[in-house]
């Protein structure tokens, strides 16, 4: 079986295959309407979701399959204290494929160590969100015609924004792409992402760079990732896209957003033809249909999920890592140049 935890679990050629298949499904939905007949998808949503959850459900139903699971952990045995390990082991026995969203970084990789069926990461805390990235890539392919040679501005919460972490990692694999990160000092892109990039810069405001961009990817400031409410209030209104700012942009610019939106895009922008975020959400269903089909039909052995070394006495310093709560997990790190990288959340610490 094949899991999707990080988009890098697949090759760029496989990403292109998923995007191509999604386009085929869009054009010929009747061909695929019974492709998953007799299959069951388990959905474990420990965190609220609208688009990701419903697009996965719609995807499986349109493929002819069935759905079990929960969208509220308080309606499951989790409220009684059941561990992630036990929940995943149980539900994977009922399912042919599982989709999981969880507020803790590394949780889906931990789940994959236990699962008896393939599992798809629908967002693990502020870490990664690979199926949103595939949605974004399909949007770019359909709307810009390619995934190369783009200048991409990413604005808002870049520290906790799992969607932009996955997107930047993926698009850095395509030739000629460059990135401008628009955020406050407190919400900058993590170093484990920027370390992968060849061409990137920072900006303090949307106005100073919007005229150069081919793509502007807006994100909300995520209240649920902040421990300090006062700090959240300081950040939430710093970057707002409105029509006066958009007047400085190229006619060919496209505006994307993973949604939900708070106040970071003025509602007047919705009527501009460059605003593609609702169309982007629709693309997500087709990408997830393609992904379900490919994973269910993947002909290979289960990949090695932990490739590093166990350091039993070493703790991950990320307080939002799954290692903090699931005590049975191997403390697995990859060591390079005296730096240990946690295999669950990618947090770094000195050896």
- Residues acting as catalytic residues: 51-52, 80, 101, 129
Which of 115, 147, 149, 119 is CA-nearest to residue 131?
119
- Per DSSP, the three-state class of 253 is coil
Please name every residue paired with 67 in a beta bridge, in sequence order, or none if there are none.
Answer: 41
Rounded Cα–Cα distance for residues 107 and 291 (Å): 20
Contacts 24+ apart (CB under 8 A), 276-281: 276/139, 276/143, 277/218, 279/139, 279/143, 280/135, 280/136, 280/139, 280/256, 281/51, 281/55, 281/135
Cβ atoms of 284 and 51 closer than 8 Å: yes
Half-sphere exposure of 164 (CA within 13 A, CB side): 32
Alpha helices in 172-241 (DSSP H): 191-194, 229-235
- Per DSSP, the three-state class of 195 is coil
């Amino acid at each position: 079986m094949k899991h999707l935890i990080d988009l890098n679990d697949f090759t760029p050629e496989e990403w292109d295959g998923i995007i191509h298949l999604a386009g085929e499904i869009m054009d010929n939905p009747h061909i695929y309407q019974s492709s998953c007949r007799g299959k069951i998808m388990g959905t474990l949503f420990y965190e609220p979701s609208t688009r990701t959850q419903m697009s996965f459900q719609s995807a499986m139903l349109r493929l002819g399959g069935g759905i079990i699971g929960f969208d509220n952990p308080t309606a499951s045995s989790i409220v009684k204290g059941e561990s992630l390990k036990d929940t995943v082991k149980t539900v994977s026995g009922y399912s042919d494929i599982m989709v999981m969203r969880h507020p803790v970084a590394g949780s889906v990789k931990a789940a994959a160590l236990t699962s008896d069926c393939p599992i798809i990461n629908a967002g693990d805390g502020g870490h990664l969100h690979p199926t949103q990235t595939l949605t974004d890539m399909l949007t770019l392919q359909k709307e810009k015609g390619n995934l190369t040679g783009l200048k991409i501005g990413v604005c808002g919460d870049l520290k906790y924004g799992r969607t932009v972490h996955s997107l930047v990692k993926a698009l850095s694999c395509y030739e000629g792409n460059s990135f401008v990160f628009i955020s406050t000092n407190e919400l900058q892109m993590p170093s484990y992402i920027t370390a992968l990039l060849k061409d990137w810069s920072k900006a303090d405001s949307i106005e100073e760079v919007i005229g150069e961009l081919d793509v502007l990817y807006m994100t909300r400031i995520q209240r649920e990732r902040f421990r300090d409410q006062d700090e959240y209030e300081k950040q939430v209104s710093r970057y707002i896209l409105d029509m006066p700012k958009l007047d400085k942009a190229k006619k060919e610019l496209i505006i994307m957003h993973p949604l939900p939106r708070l106040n970071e895009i003025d509602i007047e922008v919705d009527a501009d033809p460059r605003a593609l975020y609702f169309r982007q959400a629709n693309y997500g269903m087709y990408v997830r249909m393609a992904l379900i089909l490919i994973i269910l039909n993947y002909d290979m052995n289960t990949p090695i999920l932990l490739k590093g070394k166990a350091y039993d006495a070493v703790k991950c310093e990320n307080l939002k890592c799954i290692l903090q709560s699931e005590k049975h997990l191997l403390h697995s790190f990859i060591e390079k140049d005296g730096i240990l990288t946690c295999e669950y959340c990618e947090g770094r610490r000195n050896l």
